[in-house]
Chain A
């Protein structure tokens, strides 16, 4: 039991630090609130979907980055999707990075 408590405390700390470091925002709390006894794994399900989705998007983005010249429109479109889903689950940091990426796309900044 002690072990359980310890683990729970660790998880709680980790979770808090994700918020503190800006990886997660209030939207994640929304997700947590949608979880209940009738849907006990909701957060896990959504995040799993998100990872799968993101992996696919990232692969597409990597492919697109290999091309020359860069198709900024396509990249921007991928980023839009990535940003959207990140925002929906509360992935604040990712969302911010996506915005930055899109800025580069907008200005045609391949180096960025």
Chain B
């Protein structure tokens, strides 16, 4: 691809599944984003680390550098799978949010499993959105506002980076391993209740499944049907 005349958003996609990587790459490219894919959280951090000059571990020592000052590489959004061997998407999310140089980058989590406590935990940790797999174009379309907002914030200093998505305060569960998590499902707060509904094969609470908090109800009902095929057994 030739260099675009206007600045393009650069998305870092992290997923250990080859098929999913291919899919998300295509979805992002067709939406005119520049895409880098990696297959693990550690590789993601490596890549992100190449955005900043110094070691990211001393995150407090670093002033909030805007990545565009370095290397010419810039990441506007990180989209990551939740269930990955080694470093999970949640671990990656935490690391990003703990880094003063990276924490402004919006992070979106994807998962094939609709687990309310998982969703809440990720959102609490600072994820912008939680997307249920299989990922579709309509999901990718929702990413743009996050990228635009962050870009604007970068220009104007951090202000009301208010996340109405933040909710749920008491869920302090440590991130359980992916496959056993289903046993620990429990409704904890009112929001989770809404999400719980989506577990039952019915109704149009699609928006709650996609993310615990909804900004707008833009999802079409037919998505619900596909979803339940996968979660029926849960």
Chain A residues packing against B (C-beta within 8 Å): 25-27, 30-31, 33-34, 36, 39, 42, 45-46, 49-50, 52-53, 73, 76-77, 80-81, 83-85, 87-90, 92, 95-96, 99-100, 102-103
Q: B30, B83, B225, B229 — which one has the most chain A CB atoms within 10 A of its CB?
A: B229
Chain B residues packing against A (C-beta within 8 Å): 17-20, 22-23, 26-27, 30, 83, 112, 133-137, 178-179, 222, 225-226, 229-230, 232-233
B21 to chain A minimum Cβ distance, whole angstroms, is 9
Q: Is the CB of B22 within 8 A of A45?
A: yes
7 A-B residue pairs with Cβ-Cβ distance under 8 Å, sorted by A, are A30-B137, A53-B19, A76-B179, A84-B20, A84-B133, A85-B18, A102-B233
Q: What total of A-B pairs shows CB separation below 8 Å?
A: 80
Q: A33, A36, A49, A96 — which one has the most chain B CB atoms within 10 A of its CB?
A: A49
CB closest chain-B residue, reference A88: B134
Chain A residues within an 8 Å CB radius of B133: 84, 87-88
Q: How far is the CA of A30 from the CA of B44 in the complex (A)?
A: 27
CB closest chain-A residue, reference B85: A77
CB closest chain-B residue, reference A47: B19
Known: A49-B19, A88-B23, A89-B19. 9 other contacts (CB 8 A): A26-B225, A34-B23, A46-B22, A46-B26, A81-B17, A84-B19, A84-B20, A84-B133, A89-B134
Chain B residues within an 8 Å CB radius of A73: 179
Contacting A80 at CB < 8 Å: which of B18, B19, B30, B83?
B83
Chain B residues within an 8 Å CB radius of A36: 30
Q: Is the CB of A34 within 8 A of B26?
A: yes
B69 to chain A minimum Cβ distance, whole angstroms, is 33
Contacting A34 at CB < 8 Å: which of B27, B112, B179?
B27
Q: Is the CB of A100 within 8 A of B233?
A: yes
Given known A25-B226, A77-B179, A95-B230, contact A84–B17 (CB-CB < 8 A): yes
- Give the top 4 A-B pairs by smallest Cβ distance, nearest first: A85-B19, A99-B233, A88-B134, A27-B134
